[in-house]
Amino acid sequence: MSGETITIKGPDGSFSGYLSRPASGTGPGPKAGIVVIQEIFGVNKVMRDLCDWLAGEGYVALCPDLFWRIEPGIDITDKTEAEWKKAFDLFGKFDVDKGVTDIQATIATLRPMTSGKVGAVGYCLGGQLAYLTACHTDSDASAGYYGVNIQNRLGDAKGIKAPLMLHIAGKDEFVPPEAQEAVVAGLHGNPHVTIHRYPEMDHAFARPGGAHYDKATADEANDRTLKFFQRHLA
């Protein structure tokens, strides 16, 4: 696989994205694509590693810089108090609907590089955006990990026309139990939606190196996500 920074042209301007492709000789024909949707720390090593991981699984992966309207090129970690403060400041200023516009532009940029099928996967803020991507874009399949504030946008679910998988952490410090139950109830019966719940997990259980990282559960969730994409992006 190989990674590079590319320019994505959107309706409101151009922004960067990290693109990772499968290694040459990994099978015949073009591959499906996956948009990787960032957490509140920007397009950092965690996101780039996720792109590289998906490229290793045979996908063309592209992570757009969704904070470009506020401050382009954010690349911070979860390791210091100052970085957390910066991340929450960016989160507070971020317009999720503009973010969805940028994700649609990213899908459009990625699609010609692929078999024609493009999905999306997001984490934390990106988990909410993965849900909204399913509601408002032409993504072929979307997966969200521990998405925040989805309970405030359940009315958008009427726009879901392609498969959506959500991973919910039962002890999520940023998504209280009542919010989790609202999401489950609000999406109940939607034939496009699959929800997996992890009762003992906290927020960001799938972020390697994070305070709440749990390898066994992350592996389980990631296996479900890969099988989901294998099924719907084939």
Whether 138 is a known active-site residue: answer no
Question: Tens place of pLDDT for every residue, the chain, 234 residues?
Answer: 669 999 999 999 999 999 999 987 555 567 999 999 999 999 999 999 999 999 999 999 999 999 999 999 999 999 999 999 999 999 999 999 999 999 999 999 999 999 999 999 999 999 999 999 999 999 999 999 999 999 999 999 999 999 999 999 999 999 999 999 999 999 999 999 999 999 999 999 999 999 999 999 999 999 999 999 999 999
Whether 203 is a known active-site residue: answer yes
Q: Is the distance from CB of 76 to CB of 104 less than 8 angstroms?
A: no
**How many structural domains is the chain composed of?**
1
Read off the CATH number of the domain in which 97 is found: 3.40.50.1820
Range of the domain at 175: 2-232
Cα 70–Cα 73–Cα 78 angle in degrees, nearest 5: 90
- Given the residues 65, 140, 167, 203, select the one marked as catalytic: 203
pLDDT at 24: 74
- Given the residues 172, 202, 214, 232, select the one marked as catalytic: 172
What HEC string does 56-74 produce? HCCCEEEEECCCCCCCCCC
**214: phi > 0 → left, psi -120 to 50 → alpha, else beta; which?**
beta
Q: What is the pTM of this model?
A: 0.97
Return d(Cα 38, Cα 25) in angstroms, integer: 29
pLDDT at 26: 57
